[in-house]
Amino acid sequence: MRILVIEDEAKVANFIKKGLEEEHYAVDTAFDGESGLYMSEVNDYDLIVLDLMIPKISGLEVLRKIRINKNKVPILVVTAKDTAEDIVKGLDSGCDDYLTKPFEFQVFLARVRALLRRERADAEPVLKLADLTLSPVTHRVIRGETEIELTSKEYGLLEYFMRNPNKVLTRTMISEHVWDYHFDSMTNVIDVYVNYLRKKIDKGFEPKLIHTIRGVGYILSPSKP
């Protein structure tokens, strides 16, 4: 899942980004309202974390413009503005949850998980393909009766594959959903990680699930295309 963090304090933004990446999320950061709004319009995000006191365009204005554009992405406001009036204004402007600074990071993560669960309430709680299962809640990956340990990027890559089974995914699509905004899709990093993942979930198992579509990308399927 891909998250946008709009926060002008670099130290705070990097702290949130690092913590989310450790939980297997792909994270982009914007340090002002103008760039944050632009990124929300040109990229597909599962969640936006938004500070209200940001330069160029205020957080409230960013929030209102996102909703005016009919973008229903879940938005978690994280701000030092903690009066009842501020909270009411944020919720009435279209945010889905409101967290005041300073905050416990575990509480922040719980809010993130709750919003993502709400957004995907109609989705399967456990993703399955053939004898491969992945739990987005516990992050456990099991093939047959074998539990498979994955790195953060390998997990993010597999989750994206499993949310799009039997569908050809181009390298550009993969880079946009698993890596961050500044990733250079012209490198061979995606191919390297697909090979890492293939060794872990396909080696010693049948049927093979990850297939290369030459010149296009990859597909996760129990049958060879």
| Total count of domains within the chain | 2
- Among candidate residues 94, 119, 144, the one where a domain is terminated: 119
Query: Are 97 and 131 in the same domain?
Result: no
Distance CA 189, CA 171 (A): 10
- Scored b (16 or more CB within 10 A) or e, 166-180 reads eeebebebbbbbbbb
The pLDDT assigned to 97 comes to 95
- In this predicted structure, what is the pLDDT of residue 141? 95
**Where residue 89 falls among pLDDT bands split at 50, 70, 90?**
very high
- Residue 104's contacts (CB-CB under 8 Å, 6 or more residues apart) are none
Where a domain ends, among 119, 144, 163? Answer: 119
Same structural domain, 112 and 203: no
Range of the domain at 193: 127-220
CATH number at residue 152: 1.10.10.10
Strand partners, 26: 2
Question: Does residue 67 or residue 44 have the better pLDDT?
Answer: 67
Q: Regarding predicted confidence, which is higher, 33 or 118?
A: 33
Q: Which of 61, 96, 119 is the last residue of a domain?
A: 119
Answer yes or no: is pLDDT of 124 > 60: no
| Mean predicted confidence (pLDDT) in 162-185 | 82
If asked whether residues 31 and 108 sit together in one domain, one would say yes
Alpha-carbon gap, residue 72 to 185, rounded angstroms: 28
pLDDT tens-digit series, residues 18-42: 999 888 888 999 999 999 999 999 8
Looking only at the bridges linking them, the beta strands covering 2-6 and 26-30 are parallel
Compute the distance between CA of residue 218 and CA of residue 168 in angstroms, rounded to an integer: 6
Choose among 22, 9, 24, 7: nearest CA to 116.
24
* Least reliable range by pLDDT among 3-7, 176-180, 200-204: 176-180
| Same-domain pairing of 109 and 146 | no
